[in-house]
Each structure stands twice: as structure tokens, then as C-alpha cells.
Amino acid sequence: MHNAEQNHTLPTNLSSGIPEIKSTEFWRLGDRLVRRIGFGTKRLAGSDGGGADVQEKAIQLLRLAVELGVNHLDTADFYPTYGTPGNSRSFEPLDWANDVIFRALSPYADDLVIATKVGPTATGLARPDDLPGLVEANLRALGRDSLDLVYLRQAGLDSIAEHFGVLAELRSKGLIRHLGLSNVRIEHLAQAQEIAPVVAVQNRYSVDFGRVNDGTVQACGDQGIAFVPFFTLTADSREAGGVKQPEVIGQIADEHGATPAQIRLAWTLSRGDNVLAIPGTSNPRHLQENLAAGSIRLSPAQLDALDALPQS
């Protein structure tokens, strides 16, 4: 488990002024250095929306995460969410994660990277001309003059050029520092890169779900782009939450004295130094267990056994 020390200084490449990475514990999001296990705010409310004191508990959990060394938060203005019973693809948005981040952590530490996403709305994918307003709403709620990283979360587009172009323009105005893509195909990455640099891609991916994205993980690694998977713990349960527990994962967890969630995270980190994890939870114990997963090293035989899992 990471301790609360906040010294993240690494040697610097004098020609670029950007820190050189000397440890697989870190990866670079543009010019920002983050630990490879961060924290996602999607599950801050728990699995059922939580009770009246849920926001205060969320504030305490976020402060604990930062005390334990987390310096990469993943959020959205419609987070946290909880699953709709009987439908793994549907969720209810609660719309208070950004406000709680501000209340918990402002004024922000210099090394804290807050990544957010725009695109989804209550009526479907935002139009390109909606995106400036969505970015401004994130800026207000988070109390920032500039957003560290904004993902375009697309759905159903053949070309993302028009949407991404709007975000690139906002980046040129200083409202956004770095750009990312979410829920995309390889061709979308190429389209975006013709417009502006992409520092991160965020797609569904886990040991037994979303392996259609193996090629995207590899392409990102080859280009030095962070790959930030979602549904790593829930797999095909998606919005329903929980941790999928095939028998082989349970067996390997027993061999390490670990939890199934930790084994899923350890496998995720094994996919490449550019792969980051953003497990979310509303439980302080689970938070600490998730961060401790970074110390687990899976053997070649264990990796082979996990890679052989049926895919969904």
C-alpha cells in the first residue's frame, strides 16, 4: 500500500523539462506524472445511491485516497452513478462528484491530476456546440481555471473530428491542458491525432471482458499514450457493480493472500507500463486494498491461466 508521503519528484530530462520515469509505479499524462493506480469517482455513492450522509463519507474517502498517495482522479459531471436493477448497461446519475471533489480537496495539491469527460448527456451524445458549455460546467464545479485532462466520451460516431476539434480549440484557449478519448476505436485515435495530441484513451477492458481492445492497448503503448480501462473489476456486470470472481481468479487470489479485485488490478497493470487503473469504491477498506494491488506480481503461469479465461 502506498504511504501518505507526497514526494513525487523524479529526474528531469534537461532537453524537454519533462520528468523522466524511472519507476513502473508512475506514468506520464502529457506533462503530468501520476501513479498508475488512481481513483475513479463513479462508485462514490455505493451500489444503491447511498444514504443522506453519503456525500460527507465521499469527502472523507477522497481525502484518504490523497493521503495514501493517489494523485490521479477520474470523474465526470454526472458522477457518481449507480446501476439500474436488472440492466447492466443502465445507470442513474447523481451529478455531485465534482462538487464533492472540490469540497474535499480544494485548494488542490500541485501534483493532483483530475481527469473528467464530456459527451454523454441525459438526451444522448452532446452536439459539438454543446461541448464548451459542458467544459465550463466542469470548470465551475471543480473550481478550476483549466482542466488537467478532458476525455471526449463518444458513442456511435464514425468520425469524431468535429467533436474533438471543439475540445482542441478549448485547449488552445487554455481551458484544457490535455485531451483524451473514451469509448473509441483505433480509427478514432488516428482522427483525433490529426487535430491535437491525445495523452490517454479510456475504454472497457479487463481480464475477461473487452479484450477486443488488446490492439488499442498495444497501439497506445507503442505511442506512449496512457490506456485507462474502465469496468476492470465489474467486467460484463458493467453498471451493476461488484467484482466478477471466476474460479481461477479466486484460486490465484488465495495463492497471493489477496482479494479477487486485487488480482484483477494486478493483471491490468501487467498489460503494459502505460496502463493505468482507476478503481472506484465507496469503501475505505476496498480503497486501501485496491492501492495495495500495485505490489502484486503475477507469475507467468498465473498470467497464462488468466489469459485463458473465457471472454464476455
Active site residues: 79
Q: Which helix (H) or strand (E) holds 139?
A: helix 131-142
How many CB atoms are closer than 10 A to CB 153? 20
Distance CA 230, CA 216 (A): 14
Q: Answer for the pair 46, 58: CB distance below 8 angstroms, yes or no.
A: no
Distance CA 180, CA 116 (A): 9
**How far is residue 282 CA from its own chain's centroid?**
16
Cell of 207: 481480464
Cell 506512449, located at residue = 224
Alpha carbon dihedral 166, 170, 176, 179, in 10-degree steps, equals 30
Residue 242, sorted as left (phi over 0), alpha (psi -120 to 50) or beta, turns out to be left
Distance CA 202, CA 213 (A): 10
186 CB-near residues (< 8 Å, 6+ apart): 215, 216, 219
3-state helix, strand, coil in the chain (%, to 5): 40, 20, 40
How many CB atoms are closer than 10 A to CB 176? 23
Give the pairing of strands 147-153 and 113-118: parallel
Closest CA to 21 of 38, 5, 35, 2: 35
